[in-house]
Amino acid sequence: MTDTPLTRAPRTRIGRFFDSDIWYSFIRSPLVILSAIVSIAFFAAALFAPWVAPHNPFDLASIDLLDSSLPPVWLEDGDPRFLLGTDDQGRDILSTIIYGARISLFVSLAAVFFSMVLGITLGLVSGYVGGRTDAIIMRIADVQLAFPAILIAMLIDGVVRGVLPRDLHGDIAIYVLIFAIGISGWVQYARTVRGSTLVEKNKEYVQAARVIGIGPVIILWRHVLPNVTGPVLVIATIHLAIAIITEATLSFLGVGVPPTTPSMGTLIQVGQDYLFSGEWWITIFPGIALAVLVLAINLFGDWLRDALNPKLR
């Protein structure tokens, strides 16, 4: 294909972002724009929850049990103060979703970040150093692949419960969760980064850096890392969606965040108790919110993968 006249410009920097093919492909797909908007809206709402949410569901003093189990505002008995109704404790569903998203997103983002840092580091080292180090890291990765994230997370949770004093567990549950989800996701990053590193390290620009005399750490940081970010970005996006689902699932199974600071998964689990009793809004709205958020992130990730893969264009 040396002859194709359309020599495609390799990836561009943010400075030229708006001129790039990625931006072009982005503004051409309304669904992706929508999913980006939805995702950003969720992130913004979560970030600015205290200003966005009509109530603060974590402020126990502001909750009145007598407001509990009110239906959404458009139904009979709906209360205009509570747009999507209230849950069994009298918390505003809309606000709990927003605050729940805050927790879900915090846990997932932190877990993704943790996975990413760990995975990239191990992947870079594995790919660049090679030899026995590589073999050991990759064998560990193989072993870990046998255990899906959810299982690892549960094991870790179980271990922490066994090791730590009980009272502490509630306080650190979120960090345990982040660690558990994070530690279970590094393999993807490590494998991808290792693969890219193996390719990049044999590229001549890396050899040129070595000829200059630059050491491996700086080479990895300055030369290899920026060149492996594309696939990492894609994995991170999709991993974020998975992390959100994992968090929700763990909370649903009762090994996630404590119900006093409910995440979206906890909300669904709590609401599930009311599915048959007709108070469907307690579980359905958080369920929809979760599905929409994950769907939006997945759509975005899907598009990003295609857009960053030059072969697909």
Partner 1 sequence: MTLLTIKGMRVEFPSRRGHVTAVQDLTLDVAPGEILGVVGESGAGKSTIGNAIIGLLEPPGEMTAGEITLQGDRIDTLDEVKMRAVRGARIGMIFQDPLTSLDPLQTVETQLIDTIRENLGVSEREGSERAVALLDAVGIPDPAIRIKQYPHQFSGGMRQRVVIALALCGEPELIIADEPTTALDVSVQAQILDLMKGLCRDRNVGMILITHDMGVIAETADRVAVMYRGRVVETGTTEQIINHPTHEYTQSLISAVPPPGRRLARFPLVTYIEDAQERPEGLNLATHWLGQSRDYGAASDTLLEIEKLHMRFVTRGSIFPSKRLFLDAVKDVSLSIKSGEVFGLVGESGSGKSTIARMITGIYKPTSGSIRFAGQEITGLSRKDAAPLRRQMQMIFQDPFSSLNSRMRVKDIIAEPIHFHGLASSNAEAQKIVNDLLDVVGLGAQAAVKFPHEFSGGQRQRISIARALATRPRFLVCDEPTSALDVSIQAQVLNLLKDLQSELDLTMMFISHDLPVIRQMCDRVGVMRHGQLLEVSETESLFTNPQHEYTRHLLDLMPKFSGFGAQAAE
Partner 2 sequence: MRSITKTLTAAFLGSAMLAAPASAKEFKFAFQGDAGTMDPHGLFETFTLGFQRNIYEGLVARDGNMAMTGALAESWENTSPKVWTFNLRKGVKFHNGNDFTADDVAFSVERIKTEGSDMKVVAALIDKVKVIDDHTIEFHTPAPNPIMPLQLEIFYIMDKEWSEENKTTEATSVAGGDEGNFANLNANGTGPFKLESRQSGVKTVLVRNDDHWEDIDSNVTKAIFTPIDQDATRVAALISGDVDLAWPIPVQDWNRLESADGVKPLTGPEARTIFLGFNQTDDELKTGGDATKGKNPFKDVRVRKAFMQAIDIEAIKKKIMRGSATPAGLMIAPQINGFTEGQNTRPDHDVAAAKKLMEDAGYGDGFEVTMDCPNDRYVNDEKICQASASMLAKIGVKVNLLAQTKSKYFGKVLAQNEYDTDFFLLGWTPSTFDAHNVLSALMSCRGGEDNIGAFNLGGYCNPKINELTAKVQSETDQDKRQAMIEEAFQIHSDEVGHIPLHQQPLSWGVSDKVDVIQRPDNVFDLRSAVVK
Partner 3 sequence: MISFLIKRLLQSILVMLTVAIIAFALFRYVGDPINNMVGQDTTLEERAELRERLGLDDPFFVQFGRFVTNAVQGEFGISYQHRRPVSELIAERAPATLELSLLSAILAIAIGIPMGVYTAIHRDGWLSRAFMSLSLIGISLPTFLIGILLILLFGVILRWLPTFGRGEVVQLGWWSTGFLTWSGIKALIMPAITLALFQMTLIMRLVRAEMLEVLRTDFVKFGRARGLPDRYVHFKTALKNTMVPVITIIGLQLGAIIAFAIITETVFQWPGMGLMFIQAVREVDIPIMAAYLVMIALIFVIINLIVDMLYYVVDPRLRVDRAATGH
Of the two residues 9 and 135, which places its CB atom closer to partner 3 in the complex?
135
Of the two residues 219 and 241, which places its CB atom closer to partner 3 in the complex?
241
Q: Angle at CA 222, nearest 5°, toward 220 and 228?
A: 65
Determine the Cα–Cα distance for residues 82 and 91; give it in Å rounded to an integer.
9
164 binds partner 2 (CB under 8 A): no
- Interacting residue with partner 3 among 39, 249, 263, 266 (CB under 8 A): 249
Residues contacting partner 1: total by CB under 8 A: 28
E-only strand ranges, the chain: none
Pick one of partner 1, partner 2, partner 3, none as the site partner of residue 233 (Cβ within 5 to 8 A by kind): none
131 binds partner 3 (CB under 8 A): no
Identity of the amino acid at 93: I
Determine the Cα–Cα distance for residues 225 and 213; give it in Å rounded to an integer.
18
Token pair of 198 as six digits: 């193996």
Q: Angle at CA 163, nearest 5°, toward 159 and 169?
A: 85
Q: Are 154 and 253 in contact (CB under 8 A)?
A: yes
| Shortest CB 80 distance to partner 3, Å | 29
216 binds partner 2 (CB under 8 A): no
Pick one of partner 1, partner 3, partner 2, none as the site partner of residue 204 (Cβ within 5 to 8 A by kind): partner 1
| Shortest CB 112 distance to partner 1, Å | 23
For the four alpha carbons of 233, 286, 59 and 51, in that order, the dihedral sign comes to positive
Residues contacting partner 2: total by CB under 8 A: 29
| Shortest CB 154 distance to partner 2, Å | 15
Per-residue b or e along 140-173, where b marks 16 or more CB atoms closer than 10 Å to that residue's CB: ebeebeeeebbebbbebbeebeeeeeeeeeeeeb
Determine the Cα–Cα distance for residues 302 and 241; give it in Å rounded to an integer.
11
- Interacting residue with partner 1 among 81, 139, 161, 203 (CB under 8 A): 203
- Interacting residue with partner 2 among 50, 148, 158, 170 (CB under 8 A): 170
278 binds partner 2 (CB under 8 A): yes
Of the two residues 214 and 233, which places its CB atom closer to partner 3 in the complex?
233
Pick one of partner 2, partner 3, partner 1, none as the site partner of residue 76 (Cβ within 5 to 8 A by kind): none
Determine the Cα–Cα distance for residues 147 and 152; give it in Å rounded to an integer.
6
Binding region for partner 1 (CB under 8 A): 1-7, 9-13, 24, 203-205, 207-215, 223, 226-227
